[in-house]
Each structure stands twice: as structure tokens, then as C-alpha cells.
Amino acid sequence: MTAATVSPSRSRQALGRWKLPIGVVIALVVAYALLYGGVIYQSHVLSIPTTAAKALDQAQQQMINALTIGAIYALIALGYTMVYGIIELINFAHGDVFMCGSFVSWWLLTTLGFSGAISNPVLLTVVLILAFAVSMVVMGVVGVVIERVAYRPLRNAPRLAPLITAIGVSFILQNIVFVVVSNSLINSPQILPNPIIRFGPISIREINLFVIVLAVALMIALQAFITRTRLGRAMRSTAIDREAAQLMGVDINTTIALTFFIGSALAGAAGVVQGLYFGITVFNIGFQAGLKAFTAAVLGGIGNTTGAALGGFVIGYLEVLSSVYGYGQWSEAAVFGTLVLVLVFRPTGILGQQTADRA
């Protein structure tokens, strides 16, 4: 069996049923504290007095920022980690699938003639569902096509071949959009109204809430699919041992295609979210986002969906943290520095099984 597996149960095995939630809570608290420290630090450096209440408020808002961007990274990271888990391929094109997804939703919403927020809740819901459905399906299909055309023929070739192909595909997608659609930033309609919602002490904007909840929901759905359904089991068995799975009557090609479909669909969803949250898209957002998402996947333990989600949030948090402490221009360095350190001290990532690589 390979270290890379789509099964979440292993991580539970490694951590114990309750360690994960507890760990998450502790991590949240620590993260919050660090942000608070950052705010205080800044006001100290700029010698602008601030009150504890104000600082707490700030830290909370920054936490929300981190969770939101983290959610987007997490959604992309899931696709990476699933594909890696099942065919051990770094699908460099995945980031650009995400980019295409954002363009699909942009195209849909603009052709439907929406530009700003939709006040009518019913219409809003319908449009949202439509946007996500279309973008996810289209991107899913694109993902399957990519796999069929570019990766399947190379399944038994040396490792290097599909990796290079993946890079090629990434550039093809990016430049098709660049040449055909737009070579600069374009507005994407933000159809969600943006009021502040309050839960007791916590106040959060609707868009942030929407993004976080949606991402978490999709992740839970994915977990359920992988662990509960027959196809999910097929995916896991394929990930663990392709030959054996084949012997057990699992249709490898379909399973792998399915994996690509789901992964790409999630990236498509992330694309829609990007449009709704930032209100812009551009042909080259895929590269950076994809890079960070993959870092997230490795960080969480490549092949481990829970880990990928976690990694996504960690990356998002690191970016926010670096800007909170006033070192925003170093955020990328911080992200990749962390990656290297994790690989040195815990090669299998946060939730991967602890096994040192030999040979």
C-alpha cells in the first residue's frame, strides 16, 4: 500500500478518534492568540494605542479572513490530494482548472445579466445553485477529459512523463484563456449581498460565512462519499493497491476518471467562490493558488483529504498572519519556508502516517 491514500480513517487511526477535534480547537485558540499578539505588536510598532476590545475585534476579523481564504485553498487542495492519492501524480493543471472554473461562473453570471448583489433570496438561491452546478459539472468534465487525453496513456510510463505532461496541460489551459478570453483582470459579479451577521460576540459578513460553510459542507460530503459509498470504497481500494483492486473487480479507469471528476468539480466550486468573494478573476490566478493549494496538500499529508483541508486553512492562516505582523511581502516565502520545514521534520505531513522514507 502507498503512503498516499484517500482514506480518512487512517488519520483517525493515527490520531485517535477524539484527538483531531481537540487538536483543531487547541490550534484555533493558539491561532487566535497569535493574531491578537500581532495586532498588539502592530499598534506597538506604529505607537498607536489600541484597546484590548478593539484588538480582539481585529484578531477575530483577521481569523475570519484567514478561514475564508483558507477554505478556498482547502477546496483546491482536496483535488490535488485525491488525484495524488489515487495515481501518485502531481496534477499541476489543477490550479488552472480552478481558474477556468472562476471564468465559467463569470461567463454564466454575466450572460445571465447579473452584475451586483441579488436581494431576492429565492432568485439568489436559484442562481447560486445554478452557478455552482454548471461550473462544477463543466470543470469535472474538463478534468476527466484531461485525465483521459493527457495522463491515462502515460499511466505506466516513468514517473517523470506524466509530471511534465501535467505542466504542459497547465500552460495550455492558462494560455487558452489568455488568448481567447482576456489578458487582464476582469470583474466577476458578486451576487451575494454583504450584510454583517452577529452571533453574540462574533460578527461576520455573509460572504465569509457563506464561503466557510460551503467549503466545510463540501468537505463533509466528500468524506461521506469516500467512506460510505461503493464508489468511494472503490477509490480507496484503488489508491491502496491498484492491482489488487483490479483483481477484486474494481474498474480502475472509471474509478480514476471519477476521482478526477470530483477533484476538478471541487476546484470548479472554488472558482465560483473566488468570483463571489473577490469579485475578480484573471487568467493567471491558477498558478499561485494551485501552488499554495498543493503546498497545503503536502502540509496536511498528501493523499489525506482531512489533511488537505487542514493544510488549506494553515496556508491561508500563514498568509494572513504574515500580513498582520506587517511582513505581507514575505507571505509567499513564509508559506514555502513552512513547507520545507515540514518536509524536513515530518515528511509525511501533519496527518500522514509517520514513516521515514528510505532508499
Q: By CB under 8 A, is residue 319 in contact with another protein? A: yes
Our CB check for another protein shows the closer of 39 and 218 to be: 39
The reply on whether position 159 binds another protein by CB under 8 A is yes
Distance CA 218, CA 202 (A): 24
The one-letter amino acid code at 229 reads T
Distant-in-sequence, close-in-space partners of 321: CB < 8 Å, separation ≥ 6: 31, 34, 35, 38, 66, 334
39 or 245: CB nearest another protein: 39
Contact between 265 and 136 (Cβ < 8 Å): yes
- Asked if residues 295 and 111 have their Cβ atoms less than 8 Å apart, the reply is no
Which residue in 49, 113, 121, 158 binds another protein (CB under 8 A)? 158
Cα–Cα distance, 308 to 300 (Å, whole number): 5
If 0-12 CB within 10 Å is exposed, 13-18 middle and 19+ buried, where does residue 18 land?
exposed
Give min distance, CB of 205 to another protein, in A.
Answer: 7
Given 178, 216, 225, 231, the residue binding another protein (CB under 8 A): 178
Q: Does 247 bind another protein (CB under 8 A)?
A: no
> Could you give phi then psi for residue 5, rounded to 5 degrees?
-145, 145
Q: In whole angstroms, how close is the CB of 345 to another protein at the nearest point?
A: 6
| 160 is a contact residue toward another protein (CB under 8 A) | yes
Nearer to another protein, 37 or 231 (CB): 37
3 state DSSP class of 123: helix
Is residue 147 part of the contact set for another protein (CB under 8 A)?
no
Task: Name residues contacting another protein, limited to 42-101 (CB under 8 A).
Answer: 42-43, 46, 48, 50, 54-55, 57-58, 61-62, 65-66, 68-69, 84, 88, 90
Question: Is residue 162 part of the contact set for another protein (CB under 8 A)?
Answer: yes
Site map (CB under 8 A) of another protein, residues 274-293, x = contact: x---xxx----x-xx--x--
Among 111, 119, 120, 156, binds another protein (CB under 8 A): 156
Query: Which residues in 278-293 are b (16+ Cβ under 10 Å) and which e?
Result: eeebbbebbbebbbbb
